[in-house]
Structure 1
Amino acid sequence: MFTKLRNRFLIVNLIIISIVMLVAFASIYVITYRNVRSDINMELFRISESYQKPPGNSDHSPSRSEGASSSTAMDNDKGPMDKEERYNRDSPPERSVSFMLQTDEAHTLTATASQFVMDTEFYEEALEEAVTLNKDTGQFKLDGSHWTFNMKPTNDGYMLVFLDITAQQEILTNLIYTFSVVGLVMLLILFFTSRFFANQSIRPVKEAFDKQKQFIADASHEMKTPLTIINTNADVLLSNSEDTIHNQSKWLHYIKSETERMTRLTNDLLYLTEMDDSRASMVYSKFNLSEAVETIILTMEAVIFEKNVALDYEIEPNLTVQGSSEQIKQVVMILLDNAVKYTNSKGAVTLSLKKQQNDVVLSVTNTGEGIAAEHLTRIFDRFYRTDTSRARKQGGYGLGLAIAKSIVEQHKGKIYATSTVGQSTTFFVYLS
């Protein structure tokens, strides 16, 4: 289930990122293309203007006789123009590779003008490409180069100006290749990055789901035992229905005892749920923590004496904290009760409450078997017990420390435990 969730998250993430990248790259390409086309059109316009200027101090109109070179202008009536007169017209920008062709009404080449020497055959091929497109402006590829042209009518026919745009076309082509490579690399990087973060995002969900499953399993198991006992005792009563209640009273006591256990379990679970739901709505006030701890010790004295456990405590007076007095008392009660339960006969419990920098620190230590290191990080989980059989004999469900942790965290405090196996265990609570 979580693998499918991760893959779905990954696919959706990649699709969204791919669309964003595609839109970004397309926008950049369109803007660049328009800028390049604008530069080409401006360049073509300037070149056309330069070729349209009349020759200086000459009444001859340019023409081309058959077999003339690419840089030769001919006059229809008076023959070839001399070299000085041919180059008397204003030249197009030197940075551009361009040439001009003049034709008659039938698109027959009559004159040429160019800064560079080109074959007559090349001019004729360029003219044929332009005429074939049947447009006033366009572009084509010839001899490995990209050309754009502009055709304008004249008194004798047409004037066609050609401009080499190979460099500009390569810019656009390279831009597409660059976007393709960069996009592919980015998608690969994003794939592994998204996969990593997808795993990180799903991990707490998976942990919460696993904890929920474990919680349901544990709660069901805990309720199953008293329900089984109640059901068994009820069957015994039904099988002796003619007997008196007095004779069957022990079965009724068993049923009552297990009912009370289930009631405590249900109340603890409801309390934890209420704690989770009311974290933001709790109203706290400052109270004397020293007096609260002393009150709990007094209520526990009888239990401690009955268990034959030595209690030693050191409480610094008049220590105050912000929070709920009743809830903090419950934390102290849980920790002290646990310490007494898990201390062997003639063992010792030590409680300390003191100021440490900006925090008030409560520590409860008990001698005994201790807690192994692998259990220390989980003892605050609901229904978790290091010794299941022993905990059940002592009436525990593994909810006490979970409640204590929930209360302390609600007070923005910290609770943790340290232990030395075979010697002692200490719980620490930090409150501000």
Structure 2
Amino acid sequence: MVKNLQKRFIAIAMLSLLVVMVVVLGSLNLVNVGHITQNADGLLATLAENEGRFPPLGHGEPPRREPRSGLRMTEETPFETRYFLIRTNKDQSITEIDTSHIAGVSSTEAMDYAQKLLKEGRVKGYWGQYRYLIAEKDYGNLLILMDCSRQINTSKDFLWNSIGIALISLLILFVLVSALSRRAIRPVIENMERQKQFITDAGHEIKTPLAIIAANSEVLELTNGKNEWTQSIQHQVKRLDELVKNLLTLAKMDEGKVELTFENLSFSDLVEETAGSFTALGEKKGLEFVLDIQPGLLIKGEESSLRYLVTILVDNGVKYAAEHGQLKVSLKKRGKTTCLEVYNTCDTLPEGDLNRLFDRFARGETSRSRESGGYGIGLSVAQAIVTTHHGKITVEQREQGISFMVII
């Protein structure tokens, strides 16, 4: 259980760190791409306003910002920007192609780009490595395509570098969190250890007085004969003895001291024999007792603990089933797993989260629990047994009853 708690702590910590890193790095990369696009749009807007030319900036004149685009212009801006432009008339026929500001695009290629962009119908966007703008003019359209390959490559390098740094950071953090996780949860572990030790010590201490009380009750019966008081004493002793047994079983399972020898066994025969022993008890309560067992189902498990699991679930079903209701035990093959289901009708269905029934000392109906003699510990033992067999146990409301399902 401590290992599971430690693994859960590590998983939560690493997941939290991963979410933070994804948000931070994602935001940085989105801001970076947005800045590149905004800067390119500013340059294109400036070129469109000035008919494909940058406004002159005198030698030694400090940088200035364009009023509309907010772009910071310097003397080097015209030489750093690679672009080409195409002019068309109102009929979208190309009248001029200017590739003097870029070396990697010929007039034929520029004409091809222009025809495709005009056909697409968008006024701005990306076309491969180029950011383009189509501005309406008195004479027709002015198409300007700017080469953003350097900025795009820089943003890609930044993305991959940030991902690499993030992965290395996560690996380092995983090592640190794994190394320090036990120290972080040490107060919880110590508290759990004290609880387990208390349960174990108290269980062993209670066994002795219970044995004495049972022996004294038998002596009273031999001396004075059976009566309702001695029978009540024996009944309560039996209940307490069962409670102590369950508590000690849970404590041992929590500490990992229960050594289970797994072997191949017929789960069909085991369920049929164990559940069948409750037939008389169910009939005494007026229940319709149904066994729907698929024969020949084999699993790998520990026989005594699996018998105890079936006993707990069927006994729970008999105790809480409605008078003259139905109790059904079914065992089926489901894909590669085996599914055991115990269903019983109820007078009143439990409210709220049904998973709380697996909590220790949790009971669905308090009044019915008192009548049936339950302490609310059996289902916790059942869950622990299923966990040791690497299975899953669930509970759900179905029709007019409640169904416990074990998948192994």
TM-score category (smaller protein): 0.3 to 0.5
Higher-Rg structure is: 1
After TM superposition, the score normalised by the length of structure 2 is: 0.46
After TM superposition, the score normalised by the length of structure 1 is: 0.44
